[in-house]
Chain A
Amino acid sequence: MIPIEQYGTFETAWCPGCGNFFINKALKKALSTLDLPPHKVLICSGIGQAAKSPHYLRCNCFNGLHGRSLPPAQGAALANTEVTVFAESGDGCSYGEGGNHFLAAMRRNVTMTYLVHDNQVYGLTKGQASPTTAQGQATKFQPWGTPSMPFNPISVAVTMDVPFVARAYAAEVDHLADIIVQAARHPGFALVDIFQPCVSFNKVNTYAWYKERCYKLGQDHDPTDWRQAMIKAQEFGDRVPIGVIYKGSRQPYEQRMVSSVRRPLATSKPDMTALDDILEGYT
């Protein structure tokens, strides 16, 4: 196990009390359990409060554009087998601006772990509704209540037979860390949607709100049973399950790509003899 201190301590730009701190702690714990030294970890993120996360952890970091944590993460994971790839961002970034990338990533199924800080609100831009805000919930920008129905990432992922689908709650640090460990070890695309209280802008989904509703899935839940998983994915109200909702066995993208690709790509040199031969084909 790598000592947690190796992942560093940083000054953050987060509000005191923010749920992001717990996620940061859980991630460090998970990386330590996974025995991944900082230089073997690569985290891509988008833009938002959550997206600053990889800066608050010693690791390789590609902090790119709003909504775009997944495309670079998949590009990096495909190019480089020397690192374990994560993408980490907020719910707005992941399911709003990045919605199409989320859909495509589930289909593509590149081995990587997607950590979504789901605070059901836009934090960095000061409290607008996000794709997971409850219908009718009022915000400063949606004073008459959010008109649209919330997006359910879990049931969409289960529908898409994503190999690893989990829901977690930031304040349950050990539980979350354990889920991240399992996610990173599972071949294929892994989604971990993490409830994250935003103390500044979300006055509805507070620590108390989550604490009252979240319950841990027990032994009686079989994550390999798709139907059971679908029922758990739909459970969202007075009680919300946290834990590994679904585990599938779809073949990861890497096993379906051109077999001659020599990864890591950084060490693959063009075969000029082969190219010469290819050019012959143009005569």
Chain B
Amino acid sequence: MPDTCVNIVVGGEAGQGLVTVGDFLAKALVRAGYEIVVTQDYLSRIRGGHNTYAIRVSHEAVHGPRESIDLLVALDAQTVPMHTGDLSGRAMVLADEAIDRMGHTGLSIPFKTLCPKPMFENIAALGVLAQVLCLDRKWFEDLIAETFHKKGDEIVSANLKVFSDALTWAGSQQAGFSCMPAPGRTEKRLFMHGNDAIALGALAAGANFCSYYPMTPSSSVASTLIEHAQRMGMLVEQAEDEIAAINMALGASYAGARVVVPTSGGGFALMVEGISLAGMTETPVVVVLAQRPGPATGLPTRTEQGDLNLVLYAGHGDFPRAIFAPGTPEQCFEMTYRAMDQSEKWQSPVFVLTDQYLADSYRAVTPFDLSALPPVSAPALATDDPAGYERYAVTENGVSPRLVPGFGEHLVVLDSDEHTPDGHITEDLGVRVRMVDKRMRKGLGLKEDVLPPTFTGDDAPEMLLACWGSTYGPAVEAAQIMRTQGKKTAVLHFGQVYPLNPDQFLPLLASAGRTVMVEGNYSCQLAALIRQETGYVFGATVTRYDGLPVTAGYILKRLEEAN
């Protein structure tokens, strides 16, 4: 397959502004109509170290990150030696004059002459990049104007001048990097990462209360909510700890709010008793868990899909739950929206599992059609029979009418201990059994509502790659590559990983020659769950747990090694 992608990597120390360069460039590329996948690799420190911001860009769809680098922007001297081994045949290195390019083709940029002050170096780097990538300067100029307009016209024009000078300088250098094909599309797309999409999905579903305790890589869900809190009338509170965050959310939910709680594995571990409380009191709550390598407390800024078992088994005792695992920002939006609805509909805790890679991965996203969203379930405010109202009335599908306290004469009584239909504590063991049965019947409903896994690729494939969450894109790309090699290949992506409905996927697995589960963890947690629930055993597994995202190249290499 001819490689039509360009993989751009900006490397440097934390605090050098590489995210500014990366964000600007990525946004300009999306505006210009290109497809991108951003991967951010950073250390758990605020300054220093070696960080990268990688943008894989193409005029056609790109699904995941790639290892080999075509354009390396070195903001510090470490960057070139660190990535020498990854440079592709056509690679170019862009670096300051003072940095040794180690013999690689590229440009030594006279930042000192191009910039009146060192703070303009990021903008100068963008000028060079715009020229090298043959991008219309207008995309950058608009962005510069929008970004700096609050700081005044003088700052805007100073930045525009640096940008223009750098672009002109690069033009005079005849750098000779081949231009990318022009993108075919002109319609507007959104520029956002997975966590933005999750926050927006929650807002679209009416989320109006968020309690959280900061933890990478979930914090940006909260920060996006905070950014829009004023306009959307949302209450966001930084709790004193995760235990408070989940309990506060449950209190708010009980009192009529629509709640979302973002956290990461270590924080979620602290919330576990609260999850049981949600299960027992049948209080809706959506927890967004952005995974990172654990256990306590692992690689704080790297990625992994290691917390499926944690959310699957979190809590003491039995109660129903649902777990979503979106693979793209579009799915982040849709599935969080759905999670909010399912949680209310089945009065159960519902989880959205994402990870650092997807959380930080900017993409060109098809705009969401808000008018086409299905309605979201809601509790009732009042009842005709307040005296007869029972919060835990035993019903056929297990769902009891949920009312909000204070809006009528009815009383809403919740208890973490076993309770009678009217919510009061009981030690009657017969009631206990009826109540467990009632709660667990909701699980059947949750199962009927399960989103089927998506199957893409050839029918009756020789090779089927199964995956969940953010591994979706890399698996699709690996499948495409195998297809060009003449192998019938398909991908089965689980966007909802619990409950599972075997009828939705066992026939597909049976139709495949070889099945491989691809997961970003050591123990292949979804494969184990599928085996436990259905007895199905995958032909092979590909796992990754070095803190980096799964890529197509990684999958293919591991499959080759297995042969």
Contact = CB atoms under 8 A, between A and B. Distances in A.
Interface in A247-283: 257-262, 264-272, 274-279, 282-283
Contacts of B273: 65
A150 interface: no
B526 interface: no
Contact of A80 (B190, B247, B404): B404
Dominant SS at the B interface?
mixed
> Which among B200, B240, B255 has the greatest number of chain A C-beta atoms within 10 A?
B255
Contacts of A68: 243-244, 247, 274
B256 interface: yes
Interface string B378-421: 01010000100000000000000000111111111111110000
A58 to B, nearest CB: 6
Contacts of B410: 39
Contacts of B255: 42, 75-77, 79-80, 83, 264-266
Given A68-B243, A266-B379, A76 B254 contact: yes
A37 B410 CA distance: 11
Given A42-B405, A80-B406, A276-B370, A264 B244 contact: no
A40 B371 CA distance: 37
Interface stretch (B99-107, B206-214, B215-223, B289-297): B206-214
Among A37, A75, A275, which residue has the most Cβ atoms of chain B within 10 A?
A75
Contacts of B55: none
A60 interface: yes
B425 A63 contact: yes
B248 A71 contact: yes
Interface size class of A (residues with CB under 8 A): 35 or more
Contacts of B518: none
A52 B200 contact: no
A83 to B, nearest CB: 4
A272 B370 contact: yes
Given A257-B235, A265-B235, A275-B200, A82 B406 contact: yes
Interface string B253-290: 11111100000000000000110010001000000000
> Which range holds the interface residue count of chain B?
35 or more
A140 B191 CA distance: 64
Contacts of A71: 211, 239, 243-245, 247-248, 251
Contacts of A269: 206
A117 to B, nearest CB: 17
B127 interface: no
A52 B423 CA distance: 12
B370 A72 contact: no
A103 interface: yes
B236 to A, nearest CB: 8
25 contacts: A59-B411, A60-B411, A61-B413, A63-B425, A64-B247, A65-B274, A71-B247, A79-B235, A79-B252, A79-B257, A80-B405, A82-B407, A83-B255, A101-B243, A104-B239, A259-B230, A260-B233, A261-B235, A265-B208, A269-B206, A279-B200, A282-B196, A283-B188, A283-B189, A283-B191
Given A258-B230, A283-B191, 17 more contacts: A42-B405, A47-B416, A55-B415, A61-B413, A61-B414, A64-B416, A71-B239, A72-B251, A74-B248, A76-B251, A83-B405, A100-B241, A268-B233, A269-B206, A270-B208, A275-B203, A279-B367
